[in-house]
């Protein structure tokens, strides 16, 4: 194998791309040097990057703070610093692949996840920040509506705060409709990415299992997000969906290892990158390995798993009330967005 790393291997084997899950400039540079083709940010990651690089961006930050903007506008402008920095670093990847790769995700205000018009206006603003911005919309009924409209006019979008098979199917179907509309408008449709927050689903189901005293083991819980992701990938492949799946919020290298061989994007936290860049992980394609039937049977004791696993487990109007959705939106709003609003 020589100096080939695990990330080199999965890229060559299955066209798996990996993105850096951080807005930190130093971490982005390291990731791009080692083959990353994109960057994911969210309000929490943007807030952390600003805190770490406050001196580096001092003049830009100071200018925004001194303008005494509306809190939401202030948060947006501060996040813009982090996002556009990443966009510039990824510009060569974007240009060399003619817009297929090299995107940075910029997330809209998580408190507006049910507000269609506000989401639409924010998406159009973010799109103007750089040509390689993929605007992060929530996997809610309103977010999906905005996704279809924006893709059809050439804006690339990533649907996040998404944990389930029905959510990513809904994204893929919206993308199909948007492509048809774009053709009528004679417009090149934007790229579309659908996120499965694999570890956050596991975290939520673990709490559900403990609260209900279901007796479901930790081993089973660690396979729940994998079961959802593998099912989603199989459906995408069988239906020929053009939407790209992004697997995010990994809770260990086992998440990625068990998905090796899938034509997806893996969003990897810097804390795991050194492990993936070594040659100590067995190079084995595992995406076709089914989650054992007895594991699925036990997980079915949890109604919330059924909602996430079954293609018709949730109606689109129920996405916003799914427990994992509310937990994640709350963290993004209370820790990330509020942190940007009050940044001094």
Delimit the domains of the chain by residue range: 6-341
* CB-CB contact of 304 with 205 (8 Å): yes
The most distant pair of C-alpha atoms in the chain lies apart, rounded to whole Å, by: 59
For the segment 316-341, what is each residue's pLDDT rounded down to a tens digit?
999 999 999 999 999 999 999 999 99
DSSP 212-225: HT----HHHHTTHH
Mean pLDDT value of segment 248-268: 95
Residue 55 pLDDT > 80: yes
* CB-CB contact of 45 with 18 (8 Å): no
Confidence at residue 12, expressed as pLDDT on a 0 to 100 scale:
81
Model confidence pTM above 0.85? yes
For the segment 262-295, what is each residue's pLDDT rounded down to a tens digit?
999 999 999 999 888 877 888 889 999 999 999 9
Confidence at residue 298, expressed as pLDDT on a 0 to 100 scale:
98
* CB-CB contact of 233 with 287 (8 Å): yes
- 304's tokens: 């919330």
d(CA 217, CA 259): 21
For the segment 105-117, what is each residue's pLDDT rounded down to a tens digit?
999 999 999 999 9
Distances (CA, A) of 137 to 109, 176, 338: 9, 17, 18
Confidence at residue 1, expressed as pLDDT on a 0 to 100 scale:
42
CATH of 6-341, one of 3.20.20.70, 3.30.429.10, 1.10.30.50, 3.10.310.10: 3.20.20.70
């Amino acid at each position: 194998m020589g100096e080939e790393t695990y990330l080199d291997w999965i890229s060559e084997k299955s066209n798996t791309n990996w993105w850096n899950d951080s807005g930190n400039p130093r971490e982005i540079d390291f990731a791009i040097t080692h083959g990353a083709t994109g960057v994911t940010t969210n309000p929490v990651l943007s807030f952390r990057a600003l805190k770490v690089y406050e001196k580096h961006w001092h003049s830009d930050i100071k200018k925004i703070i001194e303008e005494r903007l509306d809190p939401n506008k202030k948060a947006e402008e501060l996040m813009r610093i982090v996002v556009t920095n990443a966009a510039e670093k990824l510009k060569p990847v974007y240009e060399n692949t003619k817009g297929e790769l090299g995107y940075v995700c910029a997330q809209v205000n998580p408190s507006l996840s049910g507000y269609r018009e506000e989401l639409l206006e924010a998406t159009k603003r973010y799109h103007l920040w750089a040509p390689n911005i993929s605007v992060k919309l929530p996997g809610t009924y309103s977010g999906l509506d905005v996704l279809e409209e924006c893709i059809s006019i050439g804006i690339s979008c990533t649907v996040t705060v998404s944990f389930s098979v029905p959510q990513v199917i809904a994204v893929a179907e919206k993308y199909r409709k948007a492509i048809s509309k774009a053709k009528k408008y004679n417009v090149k449709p934007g790229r579309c990415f659908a996120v499965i927050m694999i570890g956050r689903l596991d975290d939520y189901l673990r709490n559900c299992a403990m609260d209900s005293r279901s007796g479901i083991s930790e081993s089973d819980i660690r396979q729940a997000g994998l079961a959802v992701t593998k099912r989603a990938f199989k459906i995408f492949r069988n239906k020929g969906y053009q939407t790209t799946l992004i697997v995010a919020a990994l809770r260990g290298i086992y998440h990625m290892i068990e998905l090796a061989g899938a034509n997806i994007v893996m969003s990897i936290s810097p804390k795991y990158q050194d492990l993936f860049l070594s040659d100590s992980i067995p190079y084995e394609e595992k995406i076709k390995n089914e989650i054992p039937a007895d594991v699925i049977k036990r997980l079915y004791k949890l109604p919330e798993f059924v909602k996430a696993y079954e293609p018709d487990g949730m109606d689109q109007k129920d996405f916003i009330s799914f427990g994992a959705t509310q937990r994640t939106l709350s963290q993004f709003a209370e820790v990330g967005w509020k942190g940007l609003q009050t940044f001094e």
